[in-house]
Structures are given as structure tokens and as C-alpha cells.
């Protein structure tokens, strides 16, 4: 099967969905410029032109409100926000309007709306430009939240979102855009609420979110060198969450590590831990471990950034603690994370 990049998979999904459904429009700041939001909207603009792919003024709340109205009137807007941090400016439109119209109208009105937003980290973008806010949106009934980690999932999940008649928020980690993987050329759809098994194992379950899936794979390789077989599940969809698949895996291994890109307190890792604790408390062989961001804003300093973000080392250490295996001797100096070579900034 051919290999394409994550950003190319998003662009292909957008083009194929637009070709199938003429109601879909793409809008947002920069969607029609030369760079096309990391290249994710460039192909759609070239194929469909400014009638269906167009730039907008910079007013997040107004744009989102306009898209809610467009959805109510029969269109399916694909709204691109270059940073998920600025979705905070849209909360009234997303939470009080997009998520609730169907319920307030007894199902007679729907809001087909897909919102793409970038989340993640990078070269000192600090407290206001690198947040991972998925827990805020996953908390709201009426919203679906997806976080694809691979090119294949990016295409399949976005195709599904663009076929739905309800609001979906697609959060994309900025370090994933240049990652390559096998992606079918024909359109296909991945159901929401269906986790993916990345790696099978019998000793410990690692449930990972977004870019942490890649970190979990590295951790599993290190654990395998010590004879520990970790099973990795990629949640793919936060709301709906595939609790059943997670429970089946934990029932097999008896141990659970959750790796999330967001803050540890009151976040996705806490929700998953609560669900498994309620369902499988008597079958757990060890306390559930969580690997997530500390409860402080993201630092601007690159030195502090290196100790702020958890990675494979922290995931592997959490798994070893579940198994009561001694941690390997490590130097006090923590290695710097390997940034994507092609990553140069938000646009």
C-alpha cells in the first residue's frame, strides 16, 4: 500500500468528502494561502476553488457562530482553527449552540459541523499556543471529539466526521503532520468510538492519546527488551470513548497505564481510569498509572520544556511500576525530545 503523510491524508479526506457531498465548505484563516494550514487544505482549494474553500476574517466566535447557522440551513462547514487554544473564544457557540440544538429541538434540527484545530507543542510556544484542551470538549454532551494519531486514522475519522449530521471536533497534534504511513486511496470510514490495537501484549495495557501513541510504541519497545509485553490501544475517539475495548485489554493484562497529551488533573486520563476502576476494580493487579502533563502552564524555556513533556521514558517507568519491576539506571540528564525535522511553526 502507498505511504502518505498525515497532512496529505487530511487533505485527501477533505477532497474526497467534498467531491461526494456538495454541501461541504472549507473555511478559516489561511485555508487558501500557499501553505494551506500545513498543506492540509491546499489540495481542496486547488480542486474546488474559492467558492467552497475560502479565507475569513480573524474572529473565532463569529466564524463559529456563522458555521452553526450554515449547518442549521443545510450546509456542512469544515471550519479550520489553526490553534485549539483559540477555540476558547468560541465556547459559547460550540457548547451552548452547536452541541445543544438537536436536543433543544427534539431532534428536528441538526448541526452538521466539523471543526479542525491544531494541538500540541513546539519550540517555546509556551502557555497560550501549545495547550491540549481535548478534555474541555469531551466533557460536553452533543459533541464528538476525535484525535487521530496515524495518517490512516486521520483520513478515515475525518471522512466519518464529514458524513455526520452532528458537530465533531478533530484535534490534530502538530508533530504528526509529517509522519507517514499506509493509507488506502479509495474513500473509507472509521467509526467513532472504536479504539485501535496498535500492539498486542499480555503484561500491561497502555492506552494512549494522539501523539502519545508514538511515544507509547517507543516505550513498548524498551519494555520488550526487558521481557515485558505491553499492549497498546490508541483511543482515536475520546467522545464517544471505546470503554469496552479498553476493559477487555485490561481484563487480560490486569494493569493499565494511560498516556495523554493533556493535563493530568480532571482530564482524559482521569476519565479512563475512573471507568476502568468502576468496571474492573477487583481484577486489577496494580494501581492504575497515568502519564500526562503536570498541572502548570506550558513553559517557554526550552530547558523547562524538556522536563515538562512526558515521553517514552515516563511511560515505560509507569509500566514497570505496575509490574513492580526495578527501574533501569539512568543518567540525571534527560534527553531532549526529537522534534520533527520539517516542523517550522504553526503555519
Q: Whole-prediction pTM value?
A: 0.93
The reply to whether CATH 3.40.50.300 applies to domain 196-322 is: no
Tell me the residue ranges of DSSP E strands in 176-225. Answer: 180-182, 196-199, 204-208
List residues bridging with 258 in a β-sheet. Answer: 207, 290
The reply to whether CATH 3.40.50.970 applies to domain 3-182 is: yes
Catalytic site positions: 129
- The pLDDT profile of the chain, 347 residues, written as one tens digit per residue, is 899 999 999 999 999 999 999 999 999 999 998 889 999 999 999 999 999 999 999 999 999 999 999 999 999 999 999 889 999 999 999 999 999 999 999 999 999 999 999 987 776 788 888 999 999 999 999 999 999 999 999 999 999 999 999 999 999 999 999 999 999 999 999 999 999 999 999 999 999 999 999 999 999 999 999 999 999 999 999 999 999 999 999 999 999 999 999 999 999 999 999 999 999 999 999 999 999 999 999 998 888 988 999 999 999 999 999 998 776 765 445 555 656 656 555 44
- Residue appearing with cell numbers 466526521: 161
Task: Reduce the DSSP state of residue 227 to 3 states and report it.
Answer: coil
Instruction: Give me the torsion for CA of 215, 216, 218, 219, rounded to 10°.
Output: 120
Domains 3-182 and 196-322 share a fold: yes
Could you tell me if residue 324 is left (phi over 0), alpha (psi between -120 and 50 degrees) or otherwise beta?
Answer: left
Q: Give residue limits of the domains in the chain.
A: 3-182, 196-322
Instruction: Say how many CA atoms lie within 13 Å of 121 toward its Cβ.
Output: 23
Amino acid at each position: 500500500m502507498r505511504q502518505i503523510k498525515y497532512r496529505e491524508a487530511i487533505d485527501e479526506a477533505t477532497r474526497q468528502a467534498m467531491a461526494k457531498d456538495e454541501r461541504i465548505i472549507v473555511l478559516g484563516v489561511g485555508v487558501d494561502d500557499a501553505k494551506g494550514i500545513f498543506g492540509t487544505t491546499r489540495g481542496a482549494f486547488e480542486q474546488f476553488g474559492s467558492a467552497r474553500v475560502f479565507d475569513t476574517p480573524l474572529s473565532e466566535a463569529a466564524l463559529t457562530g456563522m458555521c452553526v447557522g450554515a449547518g442549521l440551513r443545510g450546509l456542512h462547514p469544515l471550519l479550520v482553527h489553526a490553534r485549539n487554544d483559540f477555540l476558547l473564544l468560541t465556547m459559547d457557540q460550540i457548547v451552548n449552540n452547536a452541541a445543544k440544538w438537536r436536543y433543544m429541538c427534539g431532534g428536528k434540527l441538526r448541526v452538521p459541523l466539523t471543526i479542525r484545530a491544531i494541538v500540541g507543542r513546539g519550540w517555546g510556544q509556551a502557555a497560550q499556543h501549545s495547550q491540549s484542551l481535548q478534555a474541555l470538549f469531551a466533557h460536553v454532551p452533543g459533541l464528538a471529539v476525535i484525535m487521530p494519531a496515524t495518517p490512516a486514522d486521520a483520513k478515515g475519522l475525518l471522512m466519518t466526521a464529514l458524513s455526520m449530521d452532528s458537530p465533531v471536533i478533530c484535534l490534530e497534534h502538530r508533530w504528526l503532520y509529517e509522519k507517514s504511513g499506509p493509507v488506502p486511496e479509495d474513500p473509507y470510514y472509521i467509526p467513532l468510538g472504536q479504539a485501535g490495537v496498535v500492539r498486542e501484549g499480555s503484561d500491561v495495557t497502555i492506552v494512549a492519546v494522539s501523539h502519545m501513541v508514538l511515544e507509547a510504541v517507543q516505550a513498548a519497545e524498551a519494555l520488550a527488551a526487558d521481557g515485558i509485553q505491553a499492549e497498546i490501544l490508541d483511543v482515536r475517539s475520546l467522545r464517544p470513548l471505546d470503554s469496552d475495548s479498553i476493559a477487555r485489554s485490561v481484563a487480560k493484562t490486569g494493569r493499565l497505564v494511560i498516556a495523554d497529551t493533556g493535563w493530568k488533573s480532571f482530564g482524559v486520563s482521569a476519565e479512563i481510569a475512573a471507568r476502568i476502576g468502576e468496571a474492573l476494580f477487583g481484577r486489577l493487579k496494580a494501581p492504575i498509572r497515568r502519564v500526562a502533563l503536570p498541572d502548570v502552564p506550558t513553559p517557554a524555556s526550552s530547558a523547562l520544556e524538556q522536563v515538562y513533556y512526558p515521553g517514552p521514558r515516563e511511560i515505560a517507568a509507569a509500566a514497570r511500576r505496575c509490574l513492580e519491576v526495578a527501574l533501569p539506571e539512568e543518567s540525571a540528564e534527560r534527553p531532549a525530545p526529537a522534534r520533527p525535522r520539517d516542523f517550522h511553526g504553526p503555519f
